[in-house]
Amino acid sequence: MRRFSQRNSLVTLSDINITPLLDLAFVLLIIFVITTPLLEQGINLRLPAGGVPDREKVDPRNIRTVEVSPNGLYMMSGQWLPLADIARVLENIHRVNPRLIVNVRADKECPYGHVIALTDLLTRAGVDSFSFRTEPPKR
């Protein structure tokens, strides 16, 4: 678009067309909305209801999560591991970081013995801070 100025010379007005920018923003938003749930690797568990919210803020670097499936398989950091390997890894982490907290996520249909086996092995390895994760109570 050209316009005449007071000096009798041509001045070019530049307008920024933001339509391509908005298209790009929407495409990126859609990509992030679709891929974010895929990045969270874990077992689809039905946690038991109850419990109270955490009272204090804990540094996420001090937390490791172990998931126990209903059929007694264990997952940590997105990998299926035998119980002995999980205990060995967490024992090594606990030596470096004594403030380690192990979040235990076990399905409500999981036999009690699988959770006890995990906590017993970790306690023998020196890891004694556990947090058993539950669904928030319904109000």
Query: Where are the domains positioned within the chain?
Result: 2-39, 60-132
Spatial separation of the C-alpha atoms in residues 42 and 69, rounded to whole Å: 10
pLDDT in tens, 31-40: 888 877 666 5
Out of 47-56, 60-69, 111-120, which region has the weakest mean confidence (pLDDT)? 47-56
* CATH 3.30.420.270 for domain 60-132: yes
Q: What share of the chain is helix, strand, coil (3-state, %, to 5)?
A: 35, 20, 40
Spatial separation of the C-alpha atoms in residues 119 and 26, rounded to whole Å: 46
Spatial separation of the C-alpha atoms in residues 63 and 80, rounded to whole Å: 18
pLDDT in tens, 73-122: 999 988 899 999 999 999 999 999 999 999 999 988 888 899 999 999 99
Fill in the DSSP letter of residue 4: E
Spatial separation of the C-alpha atoms in residues 21 and 5, rounded to whole Å: 31
